[in-house]
């Protein structure tokens, strides 16, 4: 990442480079442990989106959009939504919409337990992260092309 | 007791947010309300909500600041200011009085009935396998609600992308 | 089969947003197929309801107070038919009309999401779930009102969004209070607990909150300020959708369901409903008289006609409810037809001001004739459907001894007639102006959908003959049963 | 009881802001305060004196748990609030571009 004129000062950029990976990792942790500890798909998804927004604020919009373009975000969002719907529809295997179709629910407190809940968490986090990033990118990009600046 | 203090702090911050003249300060004050709310959730034993409220608050603040920065603030009062404000205040006062008497019929603070909720607490772990009962409710018992919630966010994203288009209509040739 | 009322529109919305940009016409095809299949499903559902009375679907296989359930009864299936019929006609119309706007696939996505929200509200048996789907439909409609992104549209959308969100907060507060009081969210279960605990000041407070919240969504008169701005600003198909079905599902259906089936109706709430209905009826039509913008005029008439529906339902007698429910169906059909006509005028001429028009009958015969039919329906001229439902409401008023309300209804009807005579005179009769010499009739898809709706307008009166009457009667029975709703739901579960 | 009343006072502050303020951003802020108040109310009615968070721990029996259902509902409602705020802010930004002001009284091309 070159230190061109976009974005904030060198200090902010350096700190961002160190922390943004950690924030992303923390978001993923929260998502994956949603069924055994506080958090879950929604909070984790927002944290993931925040990590990209952090990147965008510090380095300017080009750098962040290179990592995750706006169209890619839209596609990811639709995919997340479809995945969630697909999980719901798979419940028809057991006879009902949203049926928890894992007969064996796994040992409590394990990462791989609780049937559909972790899968739903992942789908939601994908959707929320990509969606919020898309909203934010749209607002920022619009500001850039607006008349008053 | 700390609960009441925090609530009073939130009310104070909300009044500041409503009445202060600088827009940026106003946005920051509403951020204080949101963070206070996050703490209140923690006191009320809702860690899931505290985390979510915290991150959502940060996101909201960023969005609102992007919207307000470098914008003007008109400060005007029209002729019927007094009348309108009085009528609004009277309406609010009536609302609060009505609410006060109605709230007396609720079960007291700290003693919910938990008619349905008992079922979730007692059987949640066996039936869903999740140790976080809130997660088991939102994604299994009431998963359909969460489908709606995800759809709302999707709708909002689509709405923002639709509203933000710079050209809405294809102009006629004439 | 009940979940498909929500899954089909949701799935098609997601798919359109994913693929609509890359594949041309994908949105057109999928939206029309989706609404067509929904129409077929809802027609099938009426048959099911006639056979089984009530169907309950347990989402996730959980028993209702624990999980969410979907309930299909007479009222729900009646509303589903209304919504999906109108939305199919509108999807057909949009194929050509929305060519004037950019990013057509976004339009279809939001349209299908709004449809999903409305179907979800109708089919649900859970109070919080109702709120969630209410928000889906509302948010999609806020965005659709601003779809043209002109200054006026954004302004209307902003007002609508603010007022709608405040209304939603009232509804949510009401749900919170009701949850604390009864400790359950299932509608039938709430009704059961309320029957055991008795109703006090708490329940009236909740009723007031719901009346404010849903009344704002239905644009009853003290809360109507957003409607004349928002409905005309949207693209014509969306105006038709908003006026035709959205205010009825979000407002009238929710009020009827909650007041009749959950909280339980009494004389005070009935008279409040009737009073609000009559006031909306008169004020809406009086404000409409002075308008020259076609769509704005139609928007004021929506307020007035919603007043008729609420008056009919608020009477609480079998005849009154029958009239109200029947008028709800008729109004959806002819009001969407009128909005589609105004969209056709806008499409061909580029203006909505009546004073600029004139003599368009020879140039646009189909628009003129369908508009004539719809105008006569809304004004209550005998062979058309609007006449029968208004007649039923007025008869019901007289029957229950409320002569003043009956007179108000007649007066409002006459004023409506006057207002639509004006539209006919200025738009379609008279001399053709120079500047409109070379206009053409609108494209085939738009004509087709207008003709379909016009045929329903003409035939709609047949719904009260004994052959078709069970369709309306099953909806009326649900409202008349009142708190019998809970027994029906719990009976169907076991 | 006093908690409920304080919460409703917060609700009324938001309501006052929406009804009486003329600046678009202030109206959005008022809407946000209303949403906070309703969410808070939901959690308050689910609280149980000396209750525990509704998350099971590995090797201890947890009694006296708070009501988890309102928490699940509030999670949904927070998301709804965020979605509405984002959409309204987008509309407000467009309005500012079109009218050059945040003053609601100057944004009146539609006759009332």
- Domain layout of chain C by residue ranges: 4-493
Q: What is the pLDDT of residue A98?
A: 64
Does residue A36 fall inside a structural domain? yes
The boundaries of the domain holding residue A139 are 10-145
Using a CB-CB cut-off of 8 Å, the residues of chain C touching D41 are 173, 176
Minimal Cβ distance to A139: which of B63, B127, B140:
B63
* Residue of chain B minimizing CA distance to A44: B52
Cα C139–Cα C140–Cα C143 angle in degrees, nearest 5: 90
Q: Does C487 touch chain D (CB under 8 A)?
A: no
Q: Is B48 on the interface with A (CB under 8 A)?
A: yes
Largest alpha-carbon pair distance within chain D? 67
For C140, which of B98, B149, B155 is closest by C-beta distance? B155
Alpha-carbon Rg for chain B in angstroms: 22
Residue B119 in contact with residue C218, Cβ under 8 Å? no
What are the residue ranges in chain B where pLDDT is below 50?
173-174
Q: Do B56 and D40 touch (CB under 8 A)?
A: no
Residues 6+ apart with CB under 8 A from B28: B61
Alpha-carbon gap, residue C70 to B87, rounded angstroms: 42
| Structural contact between residues C76 and C122, judged by C-beta atoms closer than 8 angstroms | yes
Q: Phi-psi bin for C317: left (phi > 0), alpha (psi -120 to 50), beta? A: beta
Residues B113 and B69 in one domain: no
Partner-chain contact A78 C59, CB within 8 Å: no
State both tokens at D14.
């938001």
- CA diameter of chain C: 72
DSSP H helical ranges for C234-384: 236-241, 247, 254-256, 267-289, 294-315, 318-349, 365-379
In chain A, which residues have their Cβ closer than 8 Å to the Cβ of B157?
A: 74, 77, 131-132, 134-135
Q: Residues C111, C115, C116, C118: is their CA dihedral positive or negative?
A: positive
What is the full DSSP assignment across C404-462?
HHHHHHHHHHHHHHHHHHHHIIIIISSPPPGGGTT--PPPHHHHHHHHHHHHHHHHGGG
Contacts of C183 in chain B (CB under 8 A): 112-117
Residues C3, C125: Cα–Cα separation, whole Å: 12
Burial B54-85 (b: 16+ CB within 10 A, else e): bbbbbbbbbbbebbbeebebeeeeeeeeeeee
Between positions 224 and 263 of C, the ones with CB within 8 A of A are none
- C-alpha count within 13 angstroms, C-beta hemisphere, residue C438: 1
Tokens of residue B26, six digits = 């106003």
Q: How distant is the alpha carbon of residue A23 from its chain centre?
A: 11
Contacts of C167 (CB under 8 A, 6+ apart): C212, C213, C214, C216, C217, C223
CA distance C37 to chain A (A): 18
Angle, vertex CA A50, rays to CA A44 and CA A51, nearest 5: 95
Chain A residues whose CB is inside 8 A of the D86 CB are: 132, 135
**Looking at the domain assignment, is residue B86 inside a domain?**
no
Q: Which of A90, A96, A101, A116 to mutate to test the interface with C (most CBs of C within 10 A)?
A: A96
- The arithmetic mean of pLDDT across residues A25-31, rounded, is 88
Q: What is the pLDDT of residue D111?
A: 57
C-alpha B53/C-alpha B46 separation (Å) is 11
> Which residue, C53, C111, C48, is CA-closest to C81?
C48
List, in order, residues 6 or more apart from B47 with CB less than 8 Å away. Answer: A38, B41, D53, D55
ipTM of the complex: 0.91
- Closest-CA residue in chain B for C145? B163
Whether D89 and A139 lie within 8 Å, measured CB to CB: yes
Contact D86/A134 with Cβ under 8 angstroms?
no
Residues C300/C239, Cβ–Cβ less than 8 Å: no
pLDDT of res. C132:
92
CB C462 within 8 Å of CB C389: no
Helix (H) or strand (E) holding C470: helix C469-481
Query: Using CA atoms, how far apart are residues D39 and C73, in angstroms rounded to an integer?
Result: 32
Task: Supply the pLDDT for residue C169.
Answer: 92
For residue C131, give every residue at least 6 positions away whose Cβ sits within 8 Å of its Cβ, in sequence order, or none.
C168, C171, C172, C175
Domain over D2-99 is classified CATH 1.20.1090.10: no
Check if the beta carbon of residue A129 is closer than 8 Å to that of residue A27.
yes
Model confidence pLDDT, tens digit, residues A32-91: 887 777 777 888 888 888 888 888 888 777 777 777 777 777 788 888 888 888 877 777
In a domain, A52, yes or no: yes
The CA distance from C122 to C133, in Å, is 9
* pLDDT string in tens for chain C (494-residue length): 788 888 889 888 888 888 877 887 888 888 899 999 999 999 998 888 888 888 888 887 777 788 888 888 888 899 999 999 999 999 988 888 888 888 888 889 999 999 999 999 999 888 899 999 999 999 999 999 988 888 888 888 998 999 999 999 999 999 998 888 888 888 888 888 888 887 788 888 899 899 999 999 888 888 888 888 888 888 888 988 888 889 888 889 999 988 888 888 888 888 888 999 999 989 988 888 888 888 888 888 889 999 999 999 888 888 889 999 999 999 999 889 999 988 888 888 877 887 877 777 777 888 888 888 888 888 888 878 888 888 889 999 998 888 899 999 999 999 999 888 888 888 888 777 777 777 777 888 888 888 988 998 888 878 878 878 888 888 888 888 888 888 888 888 77
The number of domains in chain A is 1
Give the pLDDT confidence score for residue C171 in this predicted structure: 92
> Are B169 and C183 inside 8 Å of each other by CB?
no
Cβ neighbours of residue C44 closer than 8 Å, sequence gap 6 or more:
none
In a domain, B101, yes or no: no
The number of folded domains in chain B is 2
Whole-angstrom CA distances from C480 to B51, C175, C256, C389, C424 are 47, 24, 11, 18, 40
Report the chain D residue with the minimal C-alpha distance to residue C174.
Answer: D38
Spatial distance between the Cα atoms of C88 and B93, rounded to a whole number of angstroms: 47
**Axis-axis angle for helices C365-379, C403-423 (nearest 10):** 170
Kindly provide the residue ranges of all beta strands, DSSP E only, lying in C16-74, ordered along the sequence: 55-58, 69-72
H helix and E strand count, chain C: 21, 2
> B151 and A57 in contact by Cβ < 8 A?
no
B65 shares a domain with B1: yes
Nearest CA in chain C to D94: C154
Q: How far apart are CA C282 and CA C271, in angstroms?
A: 17
Burial C157-187 (b: 16+ CB within 10 A, else e): bbbbbbbbbbbbbbbbbbbbbbbbbbbbbbb
Interface contact flag, B163 C146, Cβ < 8 Å: yes
Chain D residues within an 8 Å CB radius of C161: 84, 87-88, 91
Largest CA distance in chain A: 60
Tens digits of per-residue pLDDT, D67-88? Answer: 888 888 898 898 899 899 989 9
Q: Is residue A100 domain-resident?
A: yes
| Cα C164-C132-C37 angle, rounded to 5 deg | 105
- Domain presence at residue A4: no
- Residues of chain C contacting B105 with CB distance shorter than 8 Å: 181, 200-202
Question: What's the per-residue H, E or C state across chain B?
Answer: CHHHHHHHHHHHHHHHHHHCCCHHHHHHHHHHHHHHHHHHHHHCCCHHHHHHHHHHHHHHHHHHHHHHCCCCCCCCCCCCHHHHHHHHHHHHHHHHHHHHHHHCCCCCCECCCCCCHHHHHHHHHHHHCCCEHHHHHHHHHCHHHHHHHHHHHHHHHHHHHHHCCCCCECCCCC
In this complex, do B162 and C143 lie within 8 Å of one another by their Cβ atoms? Answer: yes
Which of C389, C396, C413 minimizes the C-alpha distance to C461?
A: C389
* C204-234 as b/e: b if 16+ CB within 10 A: bbbbbbbbbbbbbbbbbbebbebbbbbbbbb
Q: Is D99 exposed, middle or buried (0-12, 13-18, 19+ CB in 10 A)?
A: middle
At D66, list the tokens: 């708070």
Among C73, C117, C57, C56, smallest CA distance to C479 is for: C73
In a domain, A70, yes or no: yes
Specify whether B67 is located in the same domain as B112: no
User: Given the structure tokens 């409903």, which residue do they identify?
Assistant: C273
What tokens were used for C204? Answer: 């009236």
Domain ranges of chain D: 2-99
Q: Do B14 and D10 touch (CB under 8 A)?
A: yes
Contact with chain C for residue A98, Cβ under 8 A: yes
Token pair listed for A127: 């959707």
Q: From D77, which residue of chain B is nearest by alpha-carbon distance?
A: B149
- B3, two tokens: 């609960």
Residues C157, C145 contacting (CB under 8 angstroms): yes
Is residue B81 within 8 A of residue D20, CB to CB? The reply is: no
CB-based contact D9 B96, cutoff 8 Å: yes
Please indicate whether, in this complex, the C-beta atoms of B46 and D85 are within 8 angstroms of each other. Answer: no
Q: Which residues pair with C186 in a beta bridge?
A: C126
Residue B64, domain extent: 1-73
Length of chain C: 494
Task: Note whether C176 contacts D109, CB cutoff 8 Å.
Answer: no
């Amino acid at each position: 990442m070159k230190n061109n004129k976009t974005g904030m000062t060198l200090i902010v950029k350096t700190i961002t480079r160190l922390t943004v990976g950690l924030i992303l990792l923390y978001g993923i942790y929260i998502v994956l442990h949603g069924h055994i500890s506080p958090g879950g798909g929604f909070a984790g998804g927002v944290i993931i989106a925040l990590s990209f927004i952090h990147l965008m604020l510090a380095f300017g919009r080009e750098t962040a959009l290179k990592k995750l373009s706006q169209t890619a975000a839209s596609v990811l969002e639709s995919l997340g939504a479809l995945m969630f719907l697909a999980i719901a529809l798979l419940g028809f295997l057991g006879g009902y919409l949203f049926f928890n179709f894992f007969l064996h629910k796994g040992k409590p407190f394990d990462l791989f337990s609780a049937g559909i809940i972790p899968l739903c968490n992942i789908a939601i986090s994908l959707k929320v992260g990509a969606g919020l990033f898309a909203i934010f990118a749209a607002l920022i990009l619009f500001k850039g092309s607006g008349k008053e600046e | 007791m700390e609960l009441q203090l925090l609530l009073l702090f939130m009310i104070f911050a909300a009044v500041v947010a409503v009445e202060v003249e600088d827009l940026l300060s106003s946005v920051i004050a509403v951020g204080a309300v949101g963070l206070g709310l996050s703490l209140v959730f923690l006191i009320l034993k809702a860690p899931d909500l505290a985390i979510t409220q915290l991150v959502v608050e940060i996101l909201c603040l960023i969005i609102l600041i992007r919207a307000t920065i470098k914008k003007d603030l008109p400060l005007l009062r029209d002729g019927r200011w007094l009348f309108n404000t009085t009528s609004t205040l009277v309406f609010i006062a009536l609302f609060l009085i009505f609410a006060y008497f109605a709230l007396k019929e609720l079960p007291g603070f700290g003693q919910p009935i938990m008619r349905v909720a008992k079922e979730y607490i007692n059987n949640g772990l066996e039936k869903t396998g999740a140790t976080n009962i809130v997660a088991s409710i939102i994604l299994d018992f009431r998963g359909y609600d969460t489908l709606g919630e995800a759809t709302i966010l999707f709708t909002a994203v689509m709405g923002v992308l639709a509203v933000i288009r710079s050209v809405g209509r294809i102009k006629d040739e004439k | 089969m009940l979940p498909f009322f929500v899954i089909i529109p949701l799935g098609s919305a997601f798919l359109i947003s994913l693929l609509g940009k890359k594949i041309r016409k994908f949105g057109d095809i999928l939206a029309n197929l989706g609404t067509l299949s929904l129409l077929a499903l809802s027609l099938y559902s009426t048959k099911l309801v006639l056979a089984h009375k009530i169907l309950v679907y347990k989402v996730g296989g959980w028993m209702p107070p624990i999980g969410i359930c979907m309930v299909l009864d007479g009222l729900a299936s009646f509303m589903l038919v209304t919504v999906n019929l109108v939305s199919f006609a509108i999807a057909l119309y949009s194929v050509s009309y929305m060519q004037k706007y950019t990013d057509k696939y976004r339009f279809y996505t939001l349209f299908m999401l709004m449809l999903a929200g409305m179907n979800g509200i109708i089919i649900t048996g859970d109070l919080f779930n109702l709120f969630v789907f209410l928000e889906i439909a509302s948010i999609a409609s806020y965005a659709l009102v601003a779809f043209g992104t002109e200054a006026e549209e954004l302004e209307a959308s902003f007002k609508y969004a603010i007022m709608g969100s405040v209304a939603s907060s009232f509804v949510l507060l009401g749900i919170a209070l009701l949850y604390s009081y009864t400790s359950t969210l299932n509608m039938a279960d709430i009704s059961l607990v309320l029957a055991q605990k008795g109703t006090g000041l708490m329940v009236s407070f909740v009723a007031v909150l719901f009346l404010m919240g849903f009344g704002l969504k239905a644009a009853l008169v003290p809360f109507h300020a957003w409607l004349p701005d928002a409905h005309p600003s949207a693209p014509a198909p969306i105006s038709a959708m908003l006026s035709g079905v959205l205010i009825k599902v979000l407002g009238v259906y929710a009020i009827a369901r909650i007041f009749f089936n959950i909280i339980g109706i009494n004389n005070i709430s009935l008279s409040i409903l009737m009073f609000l209905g009559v006031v909306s009826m008169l004020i809406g039509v009086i404000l409409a008289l002075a308008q020259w913008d076609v769509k704005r005029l139609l928007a004021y008439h929506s307020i007035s006609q919603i007043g008729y529906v609420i008056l009919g339902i608020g009477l609480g007698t079998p005849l009154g409810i029958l009239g109200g429910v029947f008028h709800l169906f008729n109004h959806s059909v002819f009001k969407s037809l009128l909005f589609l006509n105004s969209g056709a005028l806008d499409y061909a001429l580029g203006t909505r001001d009546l004073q600029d028009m004139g003599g368009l009958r020879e140039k646009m015969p189909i628009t003129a004739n369908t508009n004539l039919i719809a105008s006569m329906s809304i004004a209550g001229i005998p062979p058309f459907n609007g006449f029968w439902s208004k007649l039923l409401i007025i008869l019901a008023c007289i029957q229950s001894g409320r002569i003043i309300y009956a007179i108000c209804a007649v007066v409002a009807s006459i004023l409506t007639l006057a207002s639509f005579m004006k539209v006919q005179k200025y738009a379609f009769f008279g001399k053709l102006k120079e500047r409109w010499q070379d206009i053409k009739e609108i494209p085939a898809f738009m004509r087709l959908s207008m003709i379909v709706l016009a045929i329903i307008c003409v035939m709609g009166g047949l719904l009260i003959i004994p052959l078709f009457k069970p369709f309306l009667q099953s909806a009326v029975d649900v409202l008349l049963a009142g708190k019998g709703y809970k027994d029906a739901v719990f009976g169907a579960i076991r | 009881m006093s908690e409920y009343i304080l919460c409703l006072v917060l609700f009324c502050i938001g309501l006052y802001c929406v009804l009486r303020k003329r600046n678009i951003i202030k109206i959005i802020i008022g809407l946000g305060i209303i949403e906070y108040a309703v969410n808070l109310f939901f959690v308050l009615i689910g609280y149980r004196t000396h209750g525990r968070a509704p998350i099971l721990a590995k090797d201890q029996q947890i009694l006296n748990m708070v009501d988890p259902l309102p928490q699940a509902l509030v999670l949904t409602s927070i998301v709804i609030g965020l979605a509405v705020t984002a959409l309204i802010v987008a509309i407000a930004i467009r309005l500012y571009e079109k009218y050059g002001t945040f003053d609601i009284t100057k944004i009146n091309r539609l006759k009332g």
